[in-house]
């Protein structure tokens, strides 16, 4: 949801900026741009509505010298996708350049005031008003001017301002992520540490209200006063993790990583979950009910974990769509499990306001422990999935389901809802997941190309599941629609006859996460009777025998067939390949949705 970067380096900065922007492209790819301070105190700006590679080509043809600059990759919120609306935005004098991630909700009023005061506000973008507000206060110094400007804003921001005259960079944040890191070759600011991981060992995360100045030295302010820098954190991301290697796209690499990720999660959380020690160490209070909170794929992961809590320990659960949480009545003694890969999803953070107001404890199940969610939660369960670059979540989904399931086991054993022996047996069952996942990917790689080719005329897909498997079917449908741009609906199989069956005509693909039950078979018979094309993910004889039972490894009843999801990930990717889609960057989407 827009990525920003800034750097003050010992050598030319443009290569650094474009390399970091390529790593931030998952946050939006509507346009991209850089601005670099020149020795004569002017700015050189290059922007394009094409991708980062196009910007690199342009800079090769028309190079820009300079060692301090800012860059931005955009996911459009306000204003069409045009070069004029692309960041960086300059002030009237052409001395300042600004990049911004977030949303300024009072931009219209501020723009009107700026125009009355004689500013030329050139774009339709909310962010541009900020650089003019900084310009107005510049007499007090850049850091104080940025403080004065953001005092007038409502909304969210992570922003960096470059002063071409002094070569200084000033950055601040409020509700949007921003890190600062120093390496041997320079100082960097970025929306995500992965963007600069190749050049640094440690980084700091800005808290809301921090203002950092990067000049001859790096200095910090908070609340208008000099402040201590935030905690130094170790960057554990390796450059290899950020490479596509020989894979055609990051999504295929990330699908393949799932057995390894599952092993890593179970090595981290399995032992302390089975005896409840994880729960005791968390210091969390007992609970009467659990609410899982999240958006998109993360909500689907939360639903699977909620299904486990209900099925194995009879815990009342509720799944809350974070973007719809305004009317959520948080009942007393609710434990909230907030699922978010990025930990920066604005809808989740806003829903937390409601939870915090009611005093309910929050566990973050996230791939980014230092994210805003991680910092706000009472306890953090890190998913250990490593950086995920494909916009469609794959390995982080699996990691979240397993991490959340370990937490569920720990909570039930720790509060006496389940015996320790049951906890041990459940964790031993989960030990089969890496092999089940690997088997499912292997089967799908063989079977899916033919199945996907047979759907070439389809205008949409139905997905069916029962019980916990319904949440897996939901995830399959989400993957298919975001990658292939075909509609995909997911339903409880028993609901088919109450309406969705009207969508089935000869050739309609219907993907079934088949639990072998007679009720599922009845639903599939109804589909076949209307000429629907059943893509059965299930036992022997099915089109995609990806489930444990057919591969010799027993499946796990109490958590449903998680391994069916890998088969659906492969199917979604293959259908998208056949339709010529951009696998890692589906249209209109961004990975980290930092606006409501
Ligand atoms: C789907 C996908 C999105 C995200 C959703 C929540 O593949 O990636 O649906 O799951 O935007 O994002 P996080 O998990 O970062 O809160």
pLDDT digits (tens, 9 = 90+) for 96-152: 999 999 999 999 999 999 999 999 999 989 999 999 999 999 999 999 999 999 999
Can you tell me the distance from the alpha carbon of 246 to that of 382, in angstroms, rounded to the nearest whole number? 28
Question: Distances in Å between the alpha carbon of 74 and those of 51, 56, 387?
Answer: 10, 16, 20
Q: How far away, in angstroms, is 229 Cα from ligand 1 center?
A: 31
Q: Is 322 in the pocket of ligand 1 (CB under 6 A)?
A: no
Can you tell me the distance from the alpha carbon of 383 to that of 367, in angstroms, rounded to the nearest whole number? 5
Say which residue the tokens 């007038």 belong to. Answer: 152
Structure tokens at 575: 């259908």
Give the residue whose CA is nearest to atom 16 of ligand 1.
Answer: 340
Q: How far away, in angstroms, is 591 Cα from ligand 1 center?
A: 6
DSSP-H helix ranges across 137-233: 142-151
Atom of ligand 1 nearest to the CA of 400: 14
Q: Is 341 in the pocket of ligand 1 (CB under 6 A)?
A: yes
Angle formed at CA 288 by CA 282 and CA 290, multiple of 5 degrees: 70
Q: How far away, in angstroms, is 1 Cα from ligand 1 center?
A: 11
* DSSP assignment letter at 324: G
Q: How far away, in angstroms, is 448 Cα from ligand 1 center?
A: 25
Pocket test for ligand 1, best of 293, 294, 295 (most atoms within 8 A of CB): 295
* Residues ≥6 apart with Cβ < 8 Å to 230: 204, 205, 206, 207, 210, 220
Q: Is 211 in the pocket of ligand 1 (CB under 6 A)?
A: no
Q: Is 170 in the pocket of ligand 1 (CB under 6 A)?
A: no
pLDDT of residue 28: 85
- Identified catalytic residue from 253, 395, 479, 591: 591
- Residue 117: Cβ-neighbour burial (10 angstroms; 0-12, 13-18, 19+): exposed
Give the residue whose CA is nearest to atom 7 of ligand 1.
Answer: 392
Q: Is 393 in the pocket of ligand 1 (CB under 6 A)?
A: yes
Can you tell me the distance from the alpha carbon of 257 to that of 386, in angstroms, rounded to the nearest whole number? 10
**Torsion, Cα of 568, 570, 574, 577 (10° steps):** 120
Can you tell me the distance from the alpha carbon of 349 to that of 346, in angstroms, rounded to the nearest whole number? 5
593 near 345, Cβ under 8 Å? yes
2 is catalytic: yes
pLDDT of residue 590: 82
Pocket test for ligand 1, best of 382, 394, 576, 593 (most atoms within 8 A of CB): 593
pLDDT of residue 552: 67
* Residues ≥6 apart with Cβ < 8 Å to 55: 18, 21, 32, 33, 34, 46, 48
96 near 119, Cβ under 8 Å? no
Q: Is 31 in the pocket of ligand 1 (CB under 6 A)?
A: no
First-last CA distance in the chain: 11
Question: 10 Å Cβ neighbour count for 160?
Answer: 31
The dihedrals phi and psi of 367, each to the nearest 5 degrees, come to -90, 0
Q: How far away, in angstroms, is 119 Cα from ligand 1 center?
A: 39
Structure tokens at 157: 């921001």
Q: Is 30 in the pocket of ligand 1 (CB under 6 A)?
A: no
Angle formed at CA 556 by CA 551 and CA 558, multiple of 5 degrees: 155
Can you tell me the distance from the alpha carbon of 243 to that of 525, in angstroms, rounded to the nearest whole number? 45
Q: Is 482 in the pocket of ligand 1 (CB under 6 A)?
A: yes
Q: How far away, in angstroms, is 296 Cα from ligand 1 center?
A: 5
Q: Which residues of the chain have pLDDT under 50?
A: none
288 near 332, Cβ under 8 Å? yes
Sign for the CA dihedral angle at 78, 84, 87, 90 comes to: negative
Q: Is 392 in the pocket of ligand 1 (CB under 6 A)?
A: yes
Q: How far away, in angstroms, is 417 Cα from ligand 1 center?
A: 31
- Residue 166: Cβ-neighbour burial (10 angstroms; 0-12, 13-18, 19+): middle
440 near 567, Cβ under 8 Å? yes
Q: Is 371 in the pocket of ligand 1 (CB under 6 A)?
A: no
Sign for the CA dihedral angle at 147, 153, 158, 160 comes to: negative
Q: Is 347 in the pocket of ligand 1 (CB under 6 A)?
A: no
Say which residue the tokens 């629907």 belong to. Answer: 532
Q: Is 367 in the pocket of ligand 1 (CB under 6 A)?
A: no
Q: How far away, in angstroms, is 275 Cα from ligand 1 center?
A: 32
Give the residue whose CA is nearest to atom 11 of ligand 1.
Answer: 296
Q: Is 295 in the pocket of ligand 1 (CB under 6 A)?
A: yes
172 near 159, Cβ under 8 Å? yes
Pocket test for ligand 1, best of 393, 394, 484, 590 (most atoms within 8 A of CB): 393
479 is catalytic: no
Can you tell me the distance from the alpha carbon of 517 to that of 596, in angstroms, rounded to the nearest whole number? 40
Q: How far away, in angstroms, is 393 Cα from ligand 1 center?
A: 7
Atom of ligand 1 nearest to the CA of 347: 16
Can you tell me the distance from the alpha carbon of 100 to that of 98, in angstroms, rounded to the nearest whole number? 7
In this prediction the pTM is 0.92
């Amino acid at each position: 949801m827009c990525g920003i970067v800034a750097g003050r380096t010992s050598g030319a900065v443009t290569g650094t900026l474009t390399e970091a922007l390529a790593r931030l492209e998952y946050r939006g790819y509507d346009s991209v741009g850089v601005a670099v301070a020149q020795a004569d105190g002017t700015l050189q700006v290059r922007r394009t509505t094409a991708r980062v590679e196009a910007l690199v080509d342009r800079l090769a043809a028309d190079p820009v010298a300079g060692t301090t600059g800012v860059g931005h990759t955009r996911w459009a919120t306000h204003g069409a996708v045009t070069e004029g609306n692309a960041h960086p935005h300059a002030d009237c004098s052409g001395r300042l350049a600004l990049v911004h991630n977030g949303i300024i909700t009072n931009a219209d009023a501020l723009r009107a005031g700026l125009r009355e005061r004689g500013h030329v506000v050139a774009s339709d973008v909310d962010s541009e008003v900020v650089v003019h507000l900084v310009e107005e206060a510049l007499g007090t110094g850049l850091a104080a001017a940025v403080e004065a400007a953001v005092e007038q804003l409502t909304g969210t921001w992570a922003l960096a301002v470059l002063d071409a005259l002094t070569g200084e960079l000033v950055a601040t944040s409020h509700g949007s992520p921003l890190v600062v890191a120093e390496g041997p070759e320079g100082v960097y600011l970025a929306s995500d540490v992965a963007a600069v991981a190749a050049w640094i060992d440690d980084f700091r995360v800005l808290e809301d209200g921090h203002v950092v100045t990067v000049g001859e030295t790096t200095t910090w302010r908070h609340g208008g006063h000099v402040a201590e820098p935030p905690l130094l954190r170790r960057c554990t991301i390796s450059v290899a993790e950020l490479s596509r290697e020989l894979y055609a796209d990051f999504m295929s690499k990330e699908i393949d990583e799932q057995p390894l990720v599952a092993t890593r999660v179970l090595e981290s959380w399995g032992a302390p979950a089975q005896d409840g020690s994880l729960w005791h160490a968390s210091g969390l209070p007992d609970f009467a009910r659990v609410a899982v909170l999240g958006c998109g794929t993360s909500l689907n992961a939360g639903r699977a974990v909620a299904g486990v809590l209900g099925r194995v320990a009879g815990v009342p659960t509720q799944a809350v769509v974070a973007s719809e949480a305004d009317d959520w009545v948080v009942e007393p003694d609710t434990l909230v499990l907030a699922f978010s890969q990025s930990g920066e999803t604005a809808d989740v953070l806003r829903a937390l306001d409601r939870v915090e107001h009611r005093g309910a404890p929050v566990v973050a199940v996230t791939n980014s422990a230092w994210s805003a969610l991680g910092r706000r939660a009472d306890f953090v369960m890190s998913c250990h999935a490593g950086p995920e670059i494909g916009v469609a979540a794959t390995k982080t989904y699996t990691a979240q389901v397993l991490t959340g399931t370990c937490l569920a086991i720990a909570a039930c054993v720790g509060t006496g809802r389940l015996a320790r022996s049951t906890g041990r047996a459940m964790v031993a069952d989960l030990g089969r997941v890496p092999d089940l996942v690997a088997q499912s990917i292997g089967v799908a790689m063989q079977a899916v190309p033919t199945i996907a080719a047979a759907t070439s005329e389809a205008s949409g897909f139905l997905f069916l599941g029962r019980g916990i498997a319904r949440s897996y079917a939901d995830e399959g449908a989400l993957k298919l629609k975001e990658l292939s741009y075909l509609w995909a609906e997911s339903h409880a199989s028993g609901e088919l006859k109450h309406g969705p069956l009207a969508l089935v005509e000869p050739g309609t693909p219907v993907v079934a996460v088949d639990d072998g039950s007679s009720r599922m078979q009845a639903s599939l018979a109804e589909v076949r009777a209307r000429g629907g094309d059943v893509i059965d993910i299930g036992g022997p004889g099915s089109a995609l025998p990806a489930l444990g039972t057919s591969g010799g490894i027993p499946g796990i009843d109490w958590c449903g067939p998680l391994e069916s999801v890998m088969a659906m990930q492969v199917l979604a990717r293959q259908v998208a390949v056949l339709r010529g889609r951009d696998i890692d960057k589906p249209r209109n989407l961004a990975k980290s949705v930092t606006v409501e």
